[in-house]
């Protein structure tokens, strides 16, 4: 199930379908067993960074504050620094540094 959700999520990230990403999150809540949502989140976030999907990066960044508890946020926080490393375009990297990392440093 995790692989199917990841595949569907990658497709949604690539075409920047934020409604589908919300649906994927909702499906994880309705399962009979517990998925590690943090792992799924980071993989999709890294995929968005790899393909320079600015609006999806921002969407997932907002979801980070909405869906995770404080302890989960602390555990996932370092992943945002790795996101900067895998961004290829210089202008996206500068935006990421100014808008995403600046917020993470103060939280």
Domain limits for position 80: 2-106
Residue 3 is predicted with a pLDDT of 87
Please state the rounded mean pLDDT for residues 41-68: 96
Measured CA to CA, the distance from residue 46 to residue 97 in angstroms comes to 15
Count structural domains, the chain. 1
The pair of structure tokens assigned to 53 is 């999907």
Residue 60 is predicted with a pLDDT of 97
Q: How would residue 33 be classed by pLDDT, with cut points 50, 70 and 90?
A: low
**Of 106, 9, 31, the residue nearest 65 (C-alpha):** 106
Q: How would residue 52 be classed by pLDDT, with cut points 50, 70 and 90?
A: very high
Please state the rounded mean pLDDT for residues 65-80: 93
């Amino acid at each position: 199930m995790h692989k199917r959700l990841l595949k569907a999520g990658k497709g949604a990230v690539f075409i920047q379908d934020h409604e589908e990403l919300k649906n994927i999150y909702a499906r994880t809540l309705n399962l009979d067993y517990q998925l590690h949502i943090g792992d799924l989140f980071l993989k999709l976030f890294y995929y968005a960074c790899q393909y320079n999907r600015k609006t999806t990066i921002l969407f997932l960044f907002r979801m980070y504050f909405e869906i995770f508890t404080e302890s989960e946020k602390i555990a996932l926080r370092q992943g945002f620094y790795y996101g900067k490393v895998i961004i290829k375009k210089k202008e996206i990297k500068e935006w990421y540094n100014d808008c995403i990392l600046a917020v993470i440093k103060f939280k």
